[in-house]
Each structure stands twice: as C-alpha cells, then as structure tokens.
Amino acid sequence: MTNATIASIFEEVAALLEQQAASVHRVRAWRAAAQELRASDREMADVFRDHGRVGLEAVPHVGPRLASVIIELLTTGRCGALDRLHGDATAVLAGVPGIGSTLAARIHSELGIETLEELEAAAHDGRLTRVAGFGPRRTQIVREVLATRLARRKPIGAPGARPTVDVLLEVDAAYRRAASTGELFKIAPKRFNPDGAAWLPVMHLDHAGWAFTAMFSNTALAHQRGRTNDWVILYFHLPQQAEGQATIVTEWQGRLRGRRVVRGRERECLDHYAVADEARSHAA
C-alpha cells in the first residue's frame, strides 16, 4: 500500500464526494491529503511502523480523521468510506481473514452489520455465532483480528461520542425531504440491484459540528419488508473521533408509533418528542 495508491484512493473519494454534492470543505480535505502523500518523501507505511498514529496525524493535511483511513488501508487493504460511496457496504467485512464475500453478505443480510466496530461487538455478544458458518473457532479468529486492527485504528478523543438524537432526527428529516424532491445524486448499489439501476439517493451534510453521509438502507431485510424508502442509515464522524452510524426508522407500534426513531436510542427519542410536544402545547 504505497503513498501513490493511497493518494489515488483519496482522489477517488474526493471525486465521488464532489459528484454527490458534498461540501467543498470535505472534498478539499481529501484532495489536499492526496497531494501531500504524492509529494511526501516517506512512505506512510514506514511512518506508521516507526511512529504509529501520532506520526500519521502529524503529516500536513492528514490529521486524526484521515489518519484512521490510512491505517485502515494499511491494515485491511480496504477503505470503508470509498466502499460506501460506491454503495458496497459489505466490502470492508469481506477483507477480514476467515470471512470473505459470501459470509460478509450473510452477516450484512442477517445482522445488518456494515462496520468493523459493529462486527467486533457481534463477535463478543454472541450474535455472530448465530450466523451459519461461524463456529467458536472462526468467531475467535475474528475477535483476535479485530482486536489488533481496531486498536491501531482508534483515534484520540472522547470514547463513545455520538450525535444527539435531536441532531440525528434533523439530518434524517433533511435527507428524506431532499430525496423526495429528486434533488440528490443517486448511486447504483452493487447489492440487490441486478439491473444496475441508479436508485439510491445519497446526501453529504455537515451539521452541528458533525460530518454526515445519509442514504436509504439497502439491506436484505429492508428489501424484504419494503422499507427501502423508509429506513435511513446515517454515517457520521468528528475530526477527533472514529466513524459511527445510526439507523432511523418509522416506528409502527407502542408509544412512538408513527414517529421517526433512532434504533437503540428509543428512550432518548421518547424524551425528544415529549419536549417537542410540550413546546407545541405551550405555543398553542
């Protein structure tokens, strides 16, 4: 994984972000880093070997966020950001030893997993062993591989930082409005798209200090349940934080029925809507 190869990948990410109407700032960040890598007289692989993450972050125009991407490329050979921009969320999973493309697709279909961080959690909480093909030995191998890779990728910063439910719901609403008007660039996802149609709208948005990428869910479950125009996946990051993601859906039962809900954060959503309802009541 030479500087030239990494730079080419960064340039491809920048081109796709520009094509998909991302902010000029985000596009420039990837291009500036690519130019710096091409001009550098030291290979990033050597910098990482000798100085670790700190050495990569010190490279001009790289910083914590793109240092994580370089480490991902050096340790896995994949770039999750690029895979997502191409509509292929399972490619990064396929790069884990012992998994491959078939099992990666199965993990994504059955568990909805798209990131190495989510895969690590599933390997520890028992979900992965419920997927056909994952016995105790293979699951242990996955744990060991991810323990090494994710420890090297983890950036400096407050652990567990994530956008508030209020912010996530605001971005979800903005994405669905833009998607409904047909103003967003559409990509042709590689999975569940035999005709190669460009149907999946993508939005890149900087909001409340976070950088977001939003798109409808392209999982097997979303297709089976006819929710590809309802379930929204939000990828997000801060300059000093690892990437994260959230899934927003319309709830069909209980106290949140008919409302947009962040999966896994239902209690916070209840509080969010209680405050909103009270504010509307006072305004009336």
Q: What is the model's pLDDT at position 267?
A: 93
Q: What is the model's pLDDT at position 240?
A: 55
Residues 231, 249 contacting (CB under 8 angstroms): yes
Q: What is the model's pLDDT at position 36?
A: 96
Residue that wins the pLDDT comparison between 152 and 197: 197
Most confident segment among 88-92, 110-114, 184-188: 184-188
Q: What is the model's pLDDT at position 44?
A: 96
Q: What percent of the chain has pLDDT over 90?
A: 44
Residues 207, 173 contacting (CB under 8 angstroms): no
CA–CA dist 131, 182 (Å, integer): 37
Reduced to 3 states (helix: H, G, I; strand: E, B; else coil), residue 196 is: coil
Residues 240, 156 contacting (CB under 8 angstroms): yes
Picking from 224, 229, 241, 196, the residue whose alpha carbon sits closest to that of residue 63 is 241
Q: How confident is the model at residue 152 (pLDDT cuts 50, 70, 90)?
A: low
pLDDT in tens, 209-233: 899 999 998 877 788 888 889 999 9
Task: Please state the domain extents for the chain.
Answer: 3-153, 165-283
> How many other C-beta atoms can be found within 10 angstroms of the C-beta atom of residue 106?
18
Average of pLDDT values for 274-281? 84
Considering only the top CATH level, what class is 3-153?
A: mainly alpha
CA 43 to chain centre: 27
Question: Could you tell me how many helices (H) and strands (E) the chain has, helices first?
Answer: 12, 6
Average of pLDDT values for 254-273? 93
Burial of 86 from C-beta contacts in 10 A (0-12 / 13-18 / 19+): middle
Average of pLDDT values for 39-51? 95
Least confident of 7-16, 41-50, 219-228, 238-247: 238-247
